[in-house]
Amino acid sequence: MTNNKATSSATTFRMETAIAINIKASADKIMALLTNTTDFTKWNSTVISVDGQIKQGEKIKLVSKLDPKRTFNLKVSQLTPTTMVWQDGFAPMFSGVRTFSLTPKSDGTTDFSMVEVFKGIMLPMIKGSLPDFKPNFEQYALDLKTAAEKQ
């Protein structure tokens, strides 16, 4: 992962998109933005809507500008002060897991990374219909950085 430039890699049964960026804000401030569904669309231009509460074990419904006709039904499978994981799908057929990680630095900034992994035996059949996630990831990270550094 390079700073503020998304990367993608793929094999037959696995596809990954990732981004990393340094944010001049605390991990607490960044996680507060990432978990506040009420204000999510105010700072995040890549998301149309988020319904539900972002809490461990809860389910949320998210509509992305990447595919506005589809509602993603995501489970918050992990939530700590520095890590959040959303997942959906039906493993081993097809699953998607998005991991958000925050690494506080000694200078008061925080390294943010977001990695999405799609995998499963159905992936080769649908891989061609999936959009390029890199521009969306780059905008998401930039939006988060801008919002966190404004506060």
Query: Per-residue pLDDT tens for 93-137?
Result: 999 999 999 999 999 999 999 999 999 999 999 998 898 999 999
Residue 1 domain flag: no
pLDDT-derived band at 1, boundaries 50, 70, 90: very low
Residue 2 domain flag: no
Tell me, what amino acid is at 100? F
Residue 134 domain flag: yes
CATH number (domain holding residue 65): 3.30.530.20
Q: Residue 117: which domain range? A: 7-150
Per the structure block, which two tokens stand in for 46? 């890549």
End-to-end CA distance of the chain: 26
Number of domains in the chain: 1
Q: Respond yes or no on whether the N-terminal peptide bond of residue 92 is cis (omega within 30° of 0).
A: yes
Task: Supply the pLDDT for residue 9.
Answer: 96
Query: Per-residue pLDDT tens for 14-70?
Result: 999 999 999 999 999 999 999 999 999 999 999 999 999 999 999 999 999 999 999
Residue 47 domain flag: yes
**Residues near 83 by Cβ (< 8 Å), separated by ≥ 6?**
99, 100, 101, 102
